Structure 1
Amino acid sequence: MREIIGGAPRHQESRARRLVVFDVLIMEHNPGAIAGSPRSAIAAADTIGVPHSVLEDIYAMVIGMAFVVVGLVLLKAAGLVTGGVAGIALLASYLFPLPVGTIFTLVNIPFFLFAYFTMGPRFALKSTVASFGITFALAAMPQTFNVAFVNPLFAAFVGGTLCGMGVLALARHGAGVGGTGIFTLWLQRERGINAGITQVCIDATILLVSLTTIPAGRVAWSALSALAMSAMVVAWHRPGRYTGR
């Protein structure tokens, strides 16, 4: 007896999937080749993707900000830095008697202006909301979430990964955490340069500068955190892999 899935034989479903994939490949090289084909609408829909709803955007931004905040708390507790504007804010907090969140916002101001003119007002607005959300959440952390001790290895890997997941969640929903992330996303959109690779280069510069402020051992752990953060973006923020917008 043939297995039935959704009222259709399995071999028919597999054939239909192969035809849709075949049509997508044809469209990439010759968009007019299958115009009018019964399958073309399905293939085009799969290629374009389905837009996120406003509620999905809000939820993703809250989750993304939460990931970034918890990651920064872990890194700060271990005396580490990381990549991007978060790393700049952490590094500056060891030099000046200012909260990480305040420095985070101040560093972001010129990048938000850049985002407004290059990425559009919608992206700039979302990124500004995300930045201020992170700032306010960091200010509330001492009364909400306090880390008495954390192993540097755990802080570097988990903290960096959480920051990367937060950046990824925001990027998938048309926002950034500000700073270098906005610049790397712009380069990827306009020049096709992978955002994660660009971020690695920026992070390496930040880590070299941090050698003048924190011990070399902590810089090494910080390098792991920056790598963990960028790896999230390199692996999962690739054009064509994710169809939601």
Structure 2
Amino acid sequence: MKIRKETGKELALDFLYDIVGGGIFAIGTHCFVSPSNIAPGGASGIAIMFNYLFNLPIGTMIFVVNVPLMILAYKYIGKGFTLRTLKSVVVSSLMLDVVVAPFFPQYVGDELLGSLFGGVITGAGLAIVFMRDSTTGGSDIAGRLIQVRWPHIPIGQAMLFFDVTVLLVSILVFGSIESGLYGLICMFVCSKVIDGIIYGMDKGTMAVIVSDKTREIAEKVMEEMERGVTLLKGVGAYSGEDKEVALCAVARSQFHRLKTIAYEVDPRAFIIVSEAGEILGEGFKDIKKD
């Protein structure tokens, strides 16, 4: 009974984050990015081009573009990731077409301001979705699928390749090099906002946690996040006391949750965070022999 309650609570939080994050993302896309004729990569960029050419709803097109990607993700990446992504994509698409587009005005002024504000707002919305270990599809799925086919390509580079391709196509669709340049600015600002809110890059994050309650933190991380934790033996240089240090590697979208768990268990925990260039092993990139 307790497990069911916890599951229901987590699912409710997932939807809450999706609604808030999807709503913010929808505002940035509808109010600033789309009217500036900017297609800053990903499924949303493709959807904006369809809207420009055929006047099709952006939210609906984001969903349509993601459908084939999610089918491939279900087959090659996994059921859990695909279902979480599907949930977030549906919510954000509905927020765009049903809540934001009919009622929110569009900014039709300077394109540079549109790209800057669009990048900030969409980045904030995406960061909120990432906090619950989910994504809005598009580049995230495409990047992971590219890496399945070519494992030697880092996922960050795979995502960049997909986004740049969309950006180059947008120059032809909008008939303006400036649209591509503004789209590049929007992409850059968006990525910086995401990093600033949740910390971490696509390559992964490694955290070293020093606490008097290290085992409790490790148990909660393994139970709630399904991530492995390694306990290292240590000695406090000042106190001379034996300590256990937790070492844990997580994806960028999981770091916020890891930090929250650590401070829920021990508000005085000491956490050292560093970027991991590549994470190999169970739960991350498979180690394949050439």
SS at match of 2:143: helix
Of 223, 226, 243 in structure 1, the residue corresponding to residue 187 of structure 2 is 226
1:68 to 4, 22, 25: 25
2:112 equivalent to 1:147: no
Question: How many residue pairs align between the two structures?
Answer: 194
Higher relative contact order (CA 8 A, sep 6+): 1
- Which of 164, 177, 180 is matched with 2:123 structurally? 164
* Structure index of larger Rg: 1
Higher relative helix content: 1
Residue number among 169, 175, 178 corresponding to 1:217 in the alignment: 178
TM-score (norm 1): 0.67
Task: Tell me the residue number matched to 1:114.
Answer: 72
1:81 aligns with 2:25: no
Cα 1:55/1:134, change in 2 over 3 Å: closer
CA contact (8 A) 1:124 1:175 kept: no
Shift of residue 138, structure 1, vs aligned partner: 1.6
Deviation, structure 1 residue 181: 1.7
Q: Which residue of 2 aligns with 1:103?
A: 61
Q: What's 1:125 paired with?
A: 83
Deviation per residue, 1:12-69 (Å, 9 max, x gap): xxxxxxxxxxxxxxxxxxxxxxxxxxxxxxxxxxxxxxxx944443332222212221
**Retained in 2: the 8 A contact 1:161–1:229?**
yes
Structure 2 unaligned regions, length at least 5? 1-8, 207-254, 259-290
Secondary structure of 1:211's counterpart equals: helix
**Structure with a larger share of its residues in strand:** 2
Distance in 2 (CA, whole Å) between partners of 1:186 and 1:168 is 22
Contact 1:199–1:230 (Cα < 8 Å) also in 2:
no
Distance 1:104 1:243 in 2: 26
Could you list the structure 1 runs, at least 4 aligned residues long, displaced by more than 6 angstroms after superposition. 186-190
Paired residue type of 2:33: L
Inter-partner Cα distance in structure 2 for 1:123 and 1:137: 21
Aligned match for 1:94, one of 52, 74, 78: 52
CA RMSD of aligned residues (A): 2.9
**TM-score normalized with structure 2 length:** 0.58
| Deviation at residue 221 of structure 1 after TM alignment | 1.0
Tell me, in whole angstroms, the C-alpha distance in 1 between the residues paired with 2:141 and 2:121: 18
* Post-superposition offset of 1:156: 0.6
Q: Deviations over 1:145-179 (max 9, x none)?
A: 11253431221112123222333332332221112
